[in-house]
Structures are given as C-alpha cells and as structure tokens.
Chain A
Amino acid sequence: MEDNTQGISGDYFSNVSKSDMMRVVLALATEVYAMRDRQAVLEDILLGCDIDLARLDEQVDAAVYDEDRLAERDAFVARVFAAMAGPAR
C-alpha cells in the first residue's frame, strides 16, 4: 500500500473524503453552538447578580482603530489560516 503519510510536503488528507471533512466541520459547528448556549446562560446568571453587561452589546469602531484588537485579530487569522499560506504540495 502506498504510504501517503510520509514527507513534510505530502498531502496527509488526499484520501480523506469531503464528506468526512464536512462531518468535522459540522461537529465543530455543534460545539460552537453549545458554547454560545452556555454563554447565554452565563450572561443570564451575571445579570441576575446585577452585573452590567452593556459593554457586550455596545456599538464599537472597527478593530483597525484599536491596536490591541487589531493585533489580536491578525494573530488569530494568521494562526487559523497558516496552512493556506504554506500549503502542502
């Protein structure tokens, strides 16, 4: 059997089906949704303790006008999409 797992330049997923990839995306989406649900509950609990959550919904400028948020954003994008900048051949 041909070994497709070797070599730094190999495509480790050449024989993985797109359907399986989508199953992973779906699983990730369900996890995100569960986290959103827990966050909503947490916010309810905090509100019950008279904690002001208005900052969460305030209108804000784009991150480009906030150095900290901008740096956080660019680092996040670079980390998540790193594979795109140096793709397997």
Chain B
Amino acid sequence: MDMRISRKHQARLDLVEGLKVFVAGQLMPTLRQEFEGWCAAEDPSEEQLRNSQFMQATLGANPLYQASRGLQRLSQEAMWQEVIYGLEQRRPDIEEQLDREDQAAGSLTLNPDLMMPDYYDNTEFHLQPGNFHKNTLAGPVYEIGVATYTMHRYGKAGDEMGRALVSVLPDRHCKRVLYMGCGPAYKGYPLIDALPEAEHWGIDLAAPMLKFARHRAIEHEKPMHFSQMNAEEMTFPDGHFDLIYCMLLLHEVPTRAIENIVNEAARVLAPGGVLANLELPSYASLDPLSAFLMDWDTEHNGEPFWRDYHQMDLKQTYRDAGLETKLTEAHSEWGGAKGNYMGKFRYHVTMGRKPEA
C-alpha cells in the first residue's frame, strides 16, 4: 500500500512536524538552559525537583514552558486531523485493499464478539481520533501519524524499537514468538528477521489494526499470524511460546490490566521462556525536568496510565507471576543520536524468565 498522501495534505503535515521539531529543537533547549540557570541560583533540593507541584509552581507561568506545551498539544491535534484528511479521499481504495483475502503465509483471525475493555474503549491514545478500533483506517492513520509525532526519528521503516529489542534478547532457540499489542506490527519485523525459524504471532484488541498488520506483513514478506485477542485473557494453551514481547504497550493500560497481562504471559510461556517489555526510560532515570515534561503527557497527550506505569513496581509484578526478572537497557538510535525533549535516553527492557520445570 502506498502510504504517501497528496502534496497538499503532506505540506500541511510537514508544517505540523516542523512545529514539533521547533518545540523540541528550539524551545526546549532554551527552557532547559533557563531552568538550569534558575537551579544554579536558587539551589532547590532533589526532593523538590521531583515534586510535580513544585515544578508546576516553578515553571507553570514561564512563557517558554507555556508556549512549548501549548504548541505540543495543538500540533498533536492538528497532526491527526491532517493525516485523517489526507487519507479520507483514499478511503474506498484502502478499505478494499484491507478487506482483500490473501492466501500468503501467515493468517488473520478476527473476533467480532470480543469485548473492548472500558479503559480502552474510552481513551483516544496519543489523541488519535477514534482510537485504534473505531476507524477502519486506524492502521494507516497510526503509521503516518506516529512517524510525524516522532519527527521521523524511528527510521524510515519505523522499526527502531524492534532493532533495539533484538540487541538485548538472550541467545535462545525459539519455536513460537508472540508480540502482544502488536498494532500494525512493523516494529516487530526485526524480531522476525532475527528469528526466521520461529512461528511469529501478533495479538491486538483492534480489528482495523490487525487487518492493516496482515496486509502490511504480506507486502513486506513477513510471515505472521494475527489474532484479535485481549492480552489479559489469551486463548493460547499453557506453555505455548518461547518468547513473548511488547513495546510501549504496558504504559497504555491500567495497573490491574498490567498485572493480568503479565500473569497471562507467564501462563502461556514455555519453561525457560522469556517475557520482554520494552518501554521509554523510567522517570527516576531521567533528570527532573525531563521527567516532569514526560509526566505532562499523562493529562495532555492521551496517556492516562503513563504516570501509574512509572510509579508501579513492574519487576515485583513479574516476580509475583513467578518470573525471574531483571531490568536491562537497550540503545535507542533516536534517543542516543538525536535525543528529544528528554535529551539522550536509552530504552528500558524488563526481562522475565520462566523457570525450567
């Protein structure tokens, strides 16, 4: 599928992305410089700097802070609007392509009776209108939108996170691999390339995402089985997978759902199998300004569970599910070479190994 949109719409989207680049590259460094000057003069304690109320009182009225947050929010709204406008005129053609049956390797199994959890049904993640499940074009909208949202810093293939994850996976033969919350699944292509002998599965709540994932996987010759399923309650048998992974999934769900997902993953893992969760770095590992800015997304960027995720003890949740756990860091080309408002960063990967029987 040609993912390009018409020049008129792309020009608008380019402008919106330019605004995001401006915020990250001009406003934020100036704000950081001012903030560091203020810290040098006032000498606040680490405890104060880690307190969001203190930080809000310190920065809330700052024109640079206000401009950066205001433009960040407005650019996010405008971005989705322009992507949707750009794709809308091609809707019949795209829908026809997504509905086309194909006998290529892999499969697609949808479950029209699957109930959407309330937290999912009532949220527009990253402010994407209609979320991932209420618009038949949600997959293409997501792919173009996220590329713009991240200022094209995940690489043209959009698979930078998958490559980061591959770089820290244990060297182990895998017969079956599961990608939970796979969405369009292209972030997982590096795992298919790294483990070509394995049978690869992807599950997601959203039918539009899975239809797009299937279409895209065929086009890119990435054999994968897709199934519409809730990761909290999977239909796979016990001990079915040797590797289960997710990327930027767990911060999108409530704490209770995280516990259910980890427990389910532990159930369907084979003895000796590994659960790997790749996420952006924890607040504690970032400087106070970066952590405060990251936390802003909780209320303003369709990330209602972001703060809870960073405050929970995920390693303990792994241990409670019977997994031997460790936290490791993975190189991020985006965070390492170019940075964003957080400055340089590395991904955090929480690994859990199911003990041998």
Residue of chain B at shortest CB distance from A11: B63
Q: Which residue of A lies closest to B151 (CB)?
A: A64
A58 to B86, CA, bound (A): 12
Majority SS at the chain A contact face: helix
User: Would you call B10 and A60 a contact (CB within 8 A)?
Assistant: yes
Interface string of A43-87 (1 = CB under 8 A from B): 000000000000111111111110001000110111001001111
Query: Whole-angstrom distance from the CB of A87 to the nearest CB of chain B?
Result: 4
A74/B152 in contact, CB under 8 A? no
Partner of A59, one of B2, B17, B18, B21: B2
- What are the residues of chain B within 8 A of A59 when measuring CB–CB? 2, 4-7, 10
A77-B22, A78-B22, A84-B27 known; A62+B7 contact, CB < 8 A: no
B7 to chain A: closest residue by CB: A60
Interface string of B305-320 (1 = CB under 8 A from A): 0000000000000000
Q: Whose C-beta in chain B lies nearest to the C-beta of A78?
A: B22
Beyond A56-B8, A59-B2, A60-B10, whether A78 also contacts B26 by CB under 8 A is yes
Report whether A62 and B147 are in contact in the complex, using a CB–CB cutoff of 8 Å.
yes
A: residues with CB less than 8 A from B are 55-65, 69, 73-74, 76-78, 81, 84-89
- Known contacts A60-B7, A76-B15; 11 additional CB pairs below 8 A are A56-B8, A58-B6, A59-B2, A59-B6, A64-B17, A65-B156, A73-B18, A84-B64, A85-B26, A85-B64, A87-B63
- Interface of B toward A, CB cutoff 8 Å: 2, 4-8, 10-11, 13-15, 17-19, 21-22, 26-27, 30, 63-64, 67, 71, 147-148, 151-152, 156
Nearest 3 pairs of A and B residues by beta carbon: A87-B63, A59-B4, A63-B14
